[in-house]
Amino acid sequence: MQFTELGLAEPILKALSAKQYAVPTPIQQKAIPVLLEGRDLCGIAQTGTGKTAAFALPSLDHFARNPKQTPLNGCRMLVLSPTRELAAQIAQSFRDYGRFLKLSVEVVFGGVPINRQIKALSRGVDIVVATPGRLLDLMEQRAFTIKDTEIFVLDEADQMMDMGFIHPLRRIAKLLPKERQNLFFSATMPKEIEALAAQFLNDPVKVSVAPQSTTAERVRQQATFVNQAEKQALLTLTVKNEPIDRALIFTRTKHGADRVVRFLEGAGIQAVAIHGNKSQAQRTTALQAFRHGHVKLLVATDIAARGIDVSGVSHVINFELPNVPEQYVHRIGRTARAGAEGIAISFVADDERPYLKAIERTAKVKLEIVPLPDNFMEAVRNLPKAAPPRKGKPQTSEQQARRADGQRRYQDQQQRGTPDRAHRPDGEAAPAKKKPFRRRRSGVGAHKGAVQRTGQR
């Protein structure tokens, strides 16, 4: 089947041909015809299957054939995404596929000044891609309404649930108009997700593609048993020995991600981290550096990396195994995209062996066990220390971006006159805003035990 057989409007076909997409992926073949009929859809598909185009193309077709004034302070289409990165990526896809249509696309997420978003939305927008927290903020401030939404998409529903977005989603559901088309996508469909889907969908067509194990089939999956304390040495060796184009390294915790970066830097290997304690500017800078190939190693937590579509990821390294087996499948799905082959290497400490078993059972694979390299003990002995935190050094571009982000947030707060909502589950938890009271024990200008510093300086 070719895209030309689906009956999509000419400007969309032109954009597809500019991207050299001729053949729809399985989810696109199944979803586009039913969506063009205006039906609701419940899709089980993960990123990498082409699901963004599956919902973007028929929606753009609807707008091409039904041009309308955009509603004041509102939108014609609302797409909800769990993370900021995925939201930005989806908005970019709409811009790409809709480049020959005169449509406005805005992306709305937390961690950046709200005022610019309020201004951009005030004229009304065709397509808004948003994370739930910031969307609710905007609606609470009466800066935006979703009452005119014609098409509603909830993407990565299972991830939304994992991130605790259930209550924001329920509130959003109440504010949508009754008459609308609904699209619901999730990589997995356990009972609670089915219940959530039922709240949004009206007699949906169900489509499911690529059972989770098939993505894994194109990925060479290896595991090495190693002590937790020696993983850093193994990582340094692996990064030096493997023919890596781009590697995504997963840790379970945010601090773990930072520590891995510092150790790599200590060994003279450049890497950047992306996780929920980073500011939006840092996350964007890190992702751009990785995407453009300036940095070959991106160290990430699951939530930050979910849905990220970067081509040319040759390796996924599980520095720590996830304790949820499905997460393993999501992780290794970052490599072997668009028909390419990829390698997934897992470092398994003793206490992670049960996770390995669960993964093999769920993904229906047997990981190839690779022994520690010959020179491993020597590498452990010679392991360089972690690079110190960057205080005092000249500022890197990442630090400059963080500072700029802080300044923007400050200005934004001043303009709004309200504190930033650190508690919103927007993307991941926002960076902590206040430092605890700290007592200066000594030093120039400090009265011992008498001076307290508060807040951010």
Q: In what order do the strands lie in the sheet with 75-80?
A: 105-108, 125-130, 75-80, 151-154, 181-186, 41-44, 205-208
Q: Residues 6 or more apart from 240 whose CB is under 8 A from it?
A: 269
Burial label for 33, CB within 10 Å (0-12, 13-18, 19+), is middle
> Cβ 24 to ligand AMP, closest distance in Å?
5
Q: Nearest to residue 234, comparing CAs of 383, 369, 334, 385?
A: 383
Q: In what order do the strands lie in the sheet with 219-225?
A: 272-274, 297-300, 247-250, 315-318, 342-348, 219-225, 368-369
Binding to ligand AMP by residue 21, rule CB under 6 A? Answer: yes
> Which residue of the chain is nearest ligand AMP when measured via CB?
52
How would you label 317-336 residue by residue, b for 16+ Cβ within 10 Å and e otherwise? bbbbbbeebbbbbbbbbbbb
Q: Looking at 21-29, 140-148, 230-238, 324-332, which segment touches ligand AMP (CB under 6 A)?
A: 21-29
Between 24 and 124, whose beta carbon lies closer to ligand AMP? 24
Between 23 and 444, whose beta carbon lies closer to ligand AMP? 23
Which of 49, 149, 284, 318 is in the footprint of ligand AMP by CB under 6 A? 49
Q: Looking at 20-28, 173-181, 381-389, 404-412, which segment touches ligand AMP (CB under 6 A)?
A: 20-28
Binding to ligand AMP by residue 50, rule CB under 6 A? Answer: yes
Q: Nearest to residue 303, comparing CAs of 272, 327, 335, 334?
A: 327
Contact pattern for ligand AMP over residues 287 through 326, marking x by CB under 6 A:
----------------------x-----------------
Binding to ligand AMP by residue 24, rule CB under 6 A? Answer: yes
Which of 53, 226, 287, 336 is in the footprint of ligand AMP by CB under 6 A? 53
Place of tokens 């067509």: 205
Contact pattern for ligand AMP over residues 327 through 366, marking x by CB under 6 A:
-----------x----------------------------
Q: Could you tell me if 30 and 207 are in contact, meaning their C-beta atoms sit under 8 angstroms apart?
A: yes
Between 51 and 402, whose beta carbon lies closer to ligand AMP? 51
Binding to ligand AMP by residue 48, rule CB under 6 A? Answer: yes
Between 163 and 187, whose beta carbon lies closer to ligand AMP? 187
Residues contributing to the site for ligand AMP (CB under 6 A): 21, 23-25, 28, 47-53, 309, 338
